[in-house]
Structure 1
Amino acid sequence: MIEPSAEEYSADNALQLTPELAIANLQSSDLSLRYYAAWWLGKFRVSQPAAVNALISALEDEADRTELGGYPLRRNAARALGKLGDATAVPGLIKCLECPDFYVREAAAQSLQMLGDQTAAPALMKMLDGGIAQAVQVPGCPHLTQPYEAVLEALGAFGDTKAISLIEPFLEHEIPRIQCAAARAMYQLTSNPTYGERLVKMLDIGDLKLRRVALGDLGAIGYMAAAEAIANAKAENSFKLIALKGLLEHQLTEELDALSVSDDAIRVMNLMDSLL
């Protein structure tokens, strides 16, 4: 039987791939098929044990390696495992935090956040060793020594207050995105509105990409005091709606046992209506 080429598995015919075939393709001699299969299993949330196990095995792949030493298949496998919600992937993802490939470490940190398993917190905190003095750009590379943004966001989401002293210095990092991630985490760990207001101030920055980042962070932490600032931010309505949706979800979660919707929730709904 002739194995299909990678070109046959473009986004246009992704639905033609079955879970069974995708799992089988992770063992293919064609590296492009393996790369695509890992992406597909995550994209379509194939959480079968066989899929999870195949992706965990792919975290240690040595065959798919770039000239610069990166591991493309490992990256896709790490990203996919975060979407599948299976805690059996946690040990493998924690091990990936020591991978020499920056983007594997980044994907692993993001997926560990999605899985929400706090056993990953010590390994993530270790990545902050050296503080901002070590958080510098790697010579000849477009990234820092560690995926600090992903690490800070994960630690904030875990709610482990032991991370506070490690995160706080990153509020003064020279890169605004790192400052945002630190403020986001500090608000989640302390509930101090000072950190929420730091993110609100970022909505006035001239950089559109940074304003988008701040919108996402405000939505992620559910900072209700930012509702109007979000609605009035100079950014696309789609980003503002996502942020307001985050606020609303946080508010409704807190009111789960209430018999009626609060004024704050109604206020956010009205702001969302005004953007539609």
Structure 2
Amino acid sequence: MKQQQYLELPSEQVSENDESLTVEEAIANLRHEELGKRYYAAWWLGRFRVNIPAAVEGLIAALEDESDRTEDGGYPLRRNAARALGKLEDKKAVPALIKCLESSDYYVREAAAEALEMLGDHSCISALIKLLDGGVEAAVLVPGKPHLVQPYEDIIEALGTLQARSAIPLIKPFIEHPVEKVQYAAARALYQLTGEAVYGEYLTQALDGDNLQLRRSALMDLGAIGYLPAAKAISETLAENSMKLIALKGLLEHHLTINSKVKSGATPRRRQTQGNAHQESQKSKVESQLLLSDEAIEVMTLMDSLL
């Protein structure tokens, strides 16, 4: 688990939206009489990865908040608290987040599923699977709302990340769901769970779609699963270079993670680079520790072409 240092904040007081806070003030504000300050404090603690016990405990308590309600019964503070807890890497929050999957608020369930994926604790798998009850037939729009009855995209992505192979039969039908982003989530998870190239190719083909938002989604999904054969298609997608670079970075990191497990007796191949002495030195430090395949070098070349 990566250690986050809250003391590495830009300064004792960090200004966002013209409001300055210290860590202590942000934690205290989770119980402030002004609801706006509570909402902002939860966001702030997540934004700056303040993973100290008092912050985690305060955010867990905020998941039970009854004061901050929308006209249609939503819980804005709970949503922000769940999102923040996903960023703080403290598995103490897992039981409370699992409970949030039963919330009447769709967006609380969505934030909880996303947070549980980030925390990577397998104890939540059965609760996530339960939200797929009814399958594709039950996965319909809520009347008068812009969303489905469950946050299927986040649920399915979490199951893929958590390597919930028992969910494969439940996820497969969602590749036929009428909502494209749900289809993409299913393809993403199924590739992670089975390693079958057909699902990576499904997402690669989505890069040719007419809708920019969907192309962006496919880019991010391909980066998340590290589907290396999609590298060239990613670089040629009609989307922002910044998005393509993020996706290619995901491919490269995934590939290097796998290669780092190769037997230590293997001989690394170093990429030939050009530039000033400082750049050469920095690159050689990194590359001397990595096994770079031809595919990895190709991805790096594609990334260079987008800069």
Q: TM-score range by the shorter chain?
A: over 0.9
How far 1:256 sits from its partner (Å)? Answer: 1.1
Q: Distance in 2 between matches of 1:248 and 1:175?
A: 29
How far 1:11 sits from its partner (Å)? Answer: 2.3
Correspondence 1:27-46 to 2 at 5 A: 27-46=31-50
Q: Distance in 2 between matches of 1:144 and 1:19?
A: 37
Q: What amino acid does structure 1 have at the position aligned with 2:67?
A: A
Q: What amino acid does structure 2 have at the position aligned with 1:143?
A: H
Counterpart pick for 2:76 among 48, 55, 72: 72
The answer on 1:18 being equivalent to 2:49 is: no
How far 1:166 sits from its partner (Å)? Answer: 0.5
The answer on 1:182 being equivalent to 2:182 is: no
Counterpart pick for 1:173 among 172, 177, 183: 177
Normalised TM-score (structure 1):
0.95
Answer with 1 or 2: which has the greater Rg. Answer: 2
How far 1:85 sits from its partner (Å)? Answer: 0.2
Structure 1 segments of 4 or more deviating over 3 A? none
> Could you say which residue in structure 1 is the equivalent of 2:104?
100
Q: Distance in 2 between matches of 1:170 and 1:10?
A: 43
The answer on 1:225 being equivalent to 2:229 is: yes
> Could you say which residue in structure 2 is the equivalent of 1:271?
302
Q: What amino acid does structure 1 have at the position aligned with 2:155?
A: V
> Could you say which residue in structure 2 is the equivalent of 1:207?
211
Is the partner of 1:64 in helix, strand or coil?
A: coil
Unpaired runs of 5+ residues, structure 1, are 1-8
Is the partner of 2:133 in helix, strand or coil?
A: coil
> Could you say which residue in structure 2 is the equivalent of 1:5?
none
Q: What amino acid does structure 2 have at the position aligned with 1:74?
A: R
Is the partner of 2:301 in helix, strand or coil?
A: helix
How far 1:12 sits from its partner (Å)? Answer: 3.7
Q: Give the count of matched residue pairs.
A: 267
Normalised TM-score (structure 2):
0.85
How far 1:257 sits from its partner (Å)? Answer: 4.3
Q: Distance in 1 between matches of 2:125 and 2:170?
A: 12
How far 1:255 sits from its partner (Å)? Answer: 1.1
Is the partner of 1:179 in helix, strand or coil?
A: helix
Q: Distance in 1 between matches of 2:242 and 2:203?
A: 18
CA contact (8 A) 2:228 2:251 kept: yes
CA contact (8 A) 2:15 2:21 kept: no
CA contact (8 A) 2:204 2:233 kept: yes
Q: Distance in 2 between matches of 1:139 and 1:12?
A: 35
Is the partner of 1:266 in helix, strand or coil?
A: helix
Q: What amino acid does structure 2 have at the position aligned with 1:254?
A: I
> Could you say which residue in structure 1 is the equivalent of 2:63?
59
CA contact (8 A) 2:50 2:88 kept: yes
Is the partner of 2:168 in helix, strand or coil?
A: helix
How far 1:190 sits from its partner (Å)? Answer: 0.1
How far 1:160 sits from its partner (Å)? Answer: 1.4
Is the partner of 1:119 in helix, strand or coil?
A: helix
Q: Distance in 2 between matches of 1:151 and 1:239?
A: 23
Q: Distance in 1 between matches of 2:261 and 2:210?
A: 41
How far 1:40 sits from its partner (Å)? Answer: 0.2
- Provide Cα deviations, 1:107-126, integer angstroms capped at 9, x if missing partner: 00000000000111000000
> Could you say which residue in structure 1 is the equivalent of 2:9?
none
Q: Distance in 2 between matches of 1:128 and 1:158?
A: 16
Unpaired runs of 5+ residues, structure 2, are 1-13, 269-291
> Could you say which residue in structure 2 is the equivalent of 1:135?
139
